[in-house]
Structure 1
Amino acid sequence: MTKTNKIKIAVTGDEGFLGKHLIKVLKTRGLSFTTFDRTKYNLLNPESLKGFVTGKDVVIHLAGANRNTNFKLSQTNTLGTVGLLSAIAEYSPKTRLIYASSSQIYLDQSYYGLSKRQAEELLHWYRNNAALDTLALRFSNLYGPGGKPFYNSVIATFASLINEGKTISVNGDGKQERDYLYVDDAVEAIIKATLHQGKFETAELDICSGTQTSLNKLLEILKSVCPQEIPVEYKKTLSGPEWRINKDNQSAKELLGWQPTTSLRQGLINSLGIKTENTLLQIKKLVKHQDSRGMFAEVLRPEDIDNPAFGQMSINVTSPGETKGGHYHLYKREWFCVVRGKGLLILRDRATKKRKEIILSEDKLRVVEIPTNNVHWIKNIGKSDMFLLLYIDKSYNSETADTYREE
């Protein structure tokens, strides 16, 4: 494979949902690429593609149809792919082809899935008989900003209806589940496949979140991040087979070093941002705990940012002359930073009984880690309220508080 900064890429389907996001990232990363000019090239005419594929290191084939007649689906998804494969084999056999397939290839009842599966079989044939380097990326249900309502995904439809203040109609009981993948995560998989060194050892990879989510769960998350009411009505009962596909992304992790990084909650917030005037999102209302000494509030917890590894961020306001603390932790680690005012941090090691005092103030910003098994206090020694920012590596749970007052 050519060095990253010199690699030559050609892209079909650059005007589609996934293609637009890919082009944006290719530009951002300074990668050289050519897009498909329909006035010059025709996927159904391999001879016309000579100039498109010749000299390219990688062709990323995104062009396709999601919804159309069966004939059009086969013509676009299957015949268009064999036209491109034929051109690469004839004019540029060292060119790698990355094909945007779909998890619907696993569904016998989906003609769209059939057209994609047939295209994959053609990739296999050219791998085995023409020694082409090909890889099919089987994307699950893609969503994100710019999705076309009633076409790209149910999330694009929901986002559009919410932004327009309309009622969301759900067919069935809302329990039907799908695997939803944020479009930027899909793009990252394409980039990693593009820059992969050496010939691919496998012919296809499942590119998915690995998590099944029901429509009811989608609606629950949307309601939690939207300031306005979301009217929902449930209509007729669904008939026919269940379109549930259980796949994981382990092979993509092993081969490409890829895994999704965008939580469903964050992806839904980004998707809602299509029309920002109606989606000024309030992520969390803080609960203030007040007494004569001041105020305390939890700012962020793991569930707020969909990151179980995150602990807890809080803010503590202490009135002049007041002291807070007087406890210790056996396992929980804390970090203190006074961002307004002036405080005296007092630490006493329970084992050695040694005492340490540290001044923390807005004039000299610094973060201090509170050692475990140390009783600690902080006193406001300034003339105005002291604002203390705290990070704790474990979020508070009343059943496992790990907070002890000295006996």
Structure 2
Amino acid sequence: MKVAVTGAMGFLGWHVCCRLRAVHGVEPLRIGRAELADQMLLHDALSRADIVLHLAGVNRADSDAEVEDGNVEIADRLAAAVCRLRHRMTIVNANSIQSGTDTAYGRGKRKAAAVLATVCKASRVRFVDVRLPNLFGEHGLPHYNSFVATFAAEVAADRRPSVTNDREIPLLHVQDAAAALIRAGEQTELGELRPRGEPVLVSWVADTLARLHDRYRTGEMAELSSRLTVNLFNTYRAFRFPDMFPVAPDLHADERGVLTEIVRAHGGTSQSFVSTTRAGQTRGDHYHLHKVERFFVLKGSARINLRRLLHDEVVSFHLSGDTPAYVDMPTLWVHNIENVGDDELVTVFWSDQLLDPTNPDQYPERVMQR
């Protein structure tokens, strides 16, 4: 399966590319603004693809006309390339439930879908229109991608977001949206798909993020008993990393030795385990899509390295058992822990879910790219 993704550098595009790599073992052809602006580059990328996930679009601009026309213009460019190719492929269009509204964004998405549907029918190209509800997730931009990103950023900065128009909104985590788009490219049915979001009040989202923050700011884990809550927590945690870490909890010492708390979790499932690591050895080199995980160094000298998936920059933390401390692993960040000392390294690991060998939510990849 060869997949091309337009808008691959955006919020939804990044999550789709991560999922293609993690779950399907596919390295997608990433089409950004440069390729969309150059018909030769776009033609070359599309000619190598069996499936095109069209995610590029304009969400915000200086005027309504730029939003509406911008979405249509991108669709026109893709349609022109499809016409010239005469290549058997599937086009999956990331549409929005707002395409049924009379807003600039809604009109633009509706017209863009019509452009692609018409050219695909004429070119005998499979076309699937996926109408997505309101998306949220890790590394969304505040005041741009989602009100959830705006709320999460406010809460992470220790401010309480205000709710001026409380109403019920269907929310879908961006990884679930990515899964729906990829499935649409693999299936044989044509037409329109409508992945369902979970309807929640805007005020409930604000209250839940505030509750998660009130616990997490002290190092505690709030109850993570539902998938939606975990996804909101991981969205919020993306705004706390890396500045929050490492965290050194209080030590309680007497003549017997030292006692420190590793994690305090309020409800839900969780699992803890301890490891020893010899000098010069490394553990990890993988990432998770949903799992919440904590590395707590009790003894020895460690370096924890993390790299956001599909990015190059590596963030590193040095921890020592002389001052026991922990770092929480953000989702969609490749991570490992190295013993950089001469003595044995002792680390306690905690995760919010019990290990499921058939679905461990663990995908191998090296932090350090060579």
TM range (shorter): 0.5 to 0.7
The 5-angstrom pairing of residues 4-23 of structure 1 reads: 7-23=1-17
SS of the residue corresponding to residue 168 of structure 1 reads coil
Q: One-letter code of the match for 2:138? A: P
1:25 is aligned to 2:19: yes
- Is 1:207 equivalent to 2:195 in the alignment? yes
| 1:91-240 equivalence runs, <5 A | 91-108=85-102, 110-172=103-165, 174=166, 176-196=167-187, 198=188, 200-202=189-191, 204-209=192-197, 211-227=198-214
Q: Which residue does the alignment assign to 1:348?
A: none
Q: CA deviation at 1:48?
A: 5.1
Distance of aligned partners of 1:38 and 1:221 in 2 relative to their CA distance in 1, 3 Å threshold: closer
The 5 Å alignment of 1:283-298 reads: 283-284=265-266
The answer as to whether partners of 2:7 and 2:57 remain within 8 angstroms in 1 is yes
Shift of 1:86: 2.0
Alpha-carbon deviations, 1:159-195, whole Å to 9, x = none?
10111112312214x2x12111101101111221222
Residue 151 of structure 1 deviates from its aligned partner by: 0.7
Counterpart of 1:288 in structure 2 is none
Give the corresponding residue for 2:232. 268
1:37 to partner: Cα distance: 5.1
- Cα distance in 2, alignment partners of residues 106 and 127 from structure 1: 21
With over 3 angstroms needed to count, the CA separation of the structure-2 counterparts of 1:205 and 1:168, relative to structure 1, is same
Question: C-alpha distance in 2, partners of 1:189/1:86?
Answer: 26
**Does the CA-based 8 Å contact 2:152-2:235 persist in structure 1?**
yes
Shift of 1:103: 0.9
Q: What residue identity is the alignment partner of 1:219?
A: A
Q: Note the alpha carbon deviations across 1:123-163, whole angstroms, 9 max, x for none.
A: 23124333221111111111011010111111101110111
Contact 1:10 / 1:35 at 8 angstroms: preserved in 2?
yes
Residues 231-281 of structure 1, C-alpha deviation per residue, up to 9 Å, x if partnerless?
xxxxxxxxxxxxxxxxxxxxxxxxxxxxxxx73211111111111529x99
Distance 2:11 2:40 in 1: 28
AA partner of residue 213 (structure 1):
V
Q: Which residue of 1 aligns with 2:71?
A: 77
Alpha-carbon contact 1:11-1:62 (below 8 Å) kept? yes
Contact 2:161–2:206 (CA under 8 A) maintained in structure 1: no
Deviations 1:272-301 (A, max 9, x none): 1111529x99651xxxxxxxxxxxxxx64x
Partner SS state of residue 23, structure 1: helix
User: Which amino acid is 2:89 matched to?
Assistant: T
CA distance in 1, matches of 2:111, 2:186: 26
> How many residue pairs end up in the alignment?
243
CA 1:13–1:78: 2 relative to 1, 3 Å: same
* Aligned 8 A contact 2:49 2:89 in 1: yes
TM-score, normalised to structure 2's length? 0.60
SS of residue in 2 equivalent to 1:207 = coil
| Structure 1 spans left out of the alignment, 5+ residues | 1-6, 231-261, 285-298, 306-407
Q: Secondary structure at the match of 1:11?
A: strand
Alpha-carbon distance in structure 1 between the residues aligned to 2:72 and 2:194: 19
Name the Cα RMSD after superposition.
Answer: 2.8
Larger RCO of the pair (alpha carbons < 8 Å, separation 6+)? 2
Residues 346-393 of structure 1: per-residue CA shift (max 9 Å, x gap):
xxxxxxxxxxxxxxxxxxxxxxxxxxxxxxxxxxxxxxxxxxxxxxxx
Structure 1 residues 201 and 194: CA distance shift in structure 2, 3 A: closer
Whole-angstrom distance in 2 between the partners of 1:130 and 1:269: 44
